[in-house]
Amino acid sequence: MTDLTALDAASLATKIHSREVSSVEVTQAHLDRIAAVDGEYNAFLHVSGEAALAAAKQVDDALAAGQDPASPLAGVPLALKDVFTTTDAPTTCGSKILEGWVAPYDATLTTKLREAGIPVLGKTNMDEFAMGSSTENSAYGPTRNPWDTTRIPGGSGGGSAAALASNQAPLAIGTDTGGSIRQPAAVTATVGTKPTYGTVSRYGLVACASSLDQGGPCGRTVLDTALLHEVIAGHDPRDSTSIDAPVRPVVEAARQGATGDLKGLRVGVVRELHSDSYQPGVIASFDAAVAQLKELGAEVVEVSCPSFEYALASYYLVLPSEVSSNLARFDAMRYGMRVGDGTMSADQVMAATRAAGFGKEVKRRIMIGTYALSSGYYDAYYGSALKVRTLIARDFDAAYEKVDVLVSPTSPFTPWKLGEKVDDPLAMYLSDLCTLPTNLAGHCAISVPSGVSADDGLPVGLQVMAPALADERLYRVAAAYEVARGPIAR
């Protein structure tokens, strides 16, 4: 009998829509898989078994009545990062301050999933309020990497990536503020896309840094990720940053790329994202991937983006500044945790609640951001960071005058051991060196597995970057490379 949890989403959709198997069968198989293995991985914070099966039955009933599938992925279940609001399940953002909180409204992305007939299996673990690169900052315990349970699954969306890598879900949703979709994808040998900023609604996405946050699709193949991308993308008048533009033809591009022809495509290797300080196995894997792109017909040249050198410093001023503003809403007065009694003033209740409810990394970033925005320091820190952000965008623009896409390793390192960098925040931040520039510019990027490192046999990712509103280029290149690379042995 076929193991339904081992199939990719596109194959499952074909079987469901032809009524070879039912969505209920597929959903139940994944719920059984979660029950059997998630105690080892801690990928899920909440499992929505009844709701998922009810959604699956609706799909089956519609198909039985002769109706067309609601979407190309109708009936295929999905894991949702616990940062999108849901009216039928808690939204905790991995934080004690929101423990048990059920939102009064669905996020736009949640609504799109429901309308597409995609059963939501549950909410996945994450670094608290999406702040971290290892999913160790979750208030509900760390997620473990299915490749090696002593190692991190990346962050902040390690739960979604681990759910995919352990066959607990065929599809997942993440968010990417500085690499939180792409870096977990890289270290778990899955696929993850950070779409162009503003092309996937942020309404109902609990904000970390509003000018950087972007929801995006995750899968085990490039085509699966493209199919999900088209489901969740689109203009939303409830999101003031939403771009009123047609959804990019990413599925068509993925299918075109799978033919293996990249003739005429110009690929730029970013000099500043190819360093001797990176893990040797990562560089070797990346160089092999670039050679493969050449074999597929792409023209490969080196490009320089000198301002990328300052991306890390800029990002870790812009993000904390926005965090200090966004997280001020958690004041113990309206929702979430409340610590204190009738003898305490509002200020005392707020202070006690935030002290008890926020974790160490969240507190660190709030303090950094508050300092950077304070009188006398605004121009020196936050203002300067915004100027660097502009320079990074200009470097991208100059590079894209010469090439169609840029490539780099997704992360300089393979997954490290749990606890190894918890007490060294700077070492943790360095894992995002390659992914940060795309967020600062508002552009798009994808991580696709590029094999395993010869150093330790752990996964490595290839990052493909493209200009804003050119998301289809990512999928063409990633799909062509995926076919040429072949299966990754585990």
Provide the 8-state DSSP code for 461. E
Q: Burial code of 43-76, b = ≥16 C-beta within 10 A, e = fewer?
A: bbbbbbbebbbebbbbbbebbeeeeebbbbbbbb
* Helix, strand or coil, per DSSP, at residue 318: helix
15 is catalytic: no
Is residue 472 within 8 A of residue 253, CB to CB? The reply is yes
Q: Does an H or E element contain 218, and which?
A: strand 215-219
Q: Which of 156, 324, 408, 411 is catalytic?
A: 156
Is residue 100 within 8 A of residue 90, CB to CB? The reply is yes
294 is catalytic: no
156 is catalytic: yes
User: What does the angle CA 269 – CA 270 – CA 272 come to, to the nearest 5 degrees?
Assistant: 145
Is residue 400 within 8 A of residue 469, CB to CB? The reply is no
Q: Which of 81, 96, 112, 123 is catalytic?
A: 81
Give which of 469, 462, 487 is closest to 298, Cα–Cα. 462
List the structure tokens of 417: 């051991």
SS3 per residue for 66-77: CCCCCCCCCCCC
| Residue 256: Cβ within 10 Å count | 16
Q: Which of 23, 48, 166, 180 is catalytic?
A: 180
What is the DSSP code string of 69-117?
PSSTTTT--EEEETTB--TTS---TT-GGGTT---SS--HHHHHHHHTT
Q: Strands 191-194, 444-452: parallel, antiparallel or unpaired by DSSP?
A: antiparallel
| Residue 102: Cβ within 10 Å count | 14
Q: Which residues are catalytic?
A: 81, 156, 180
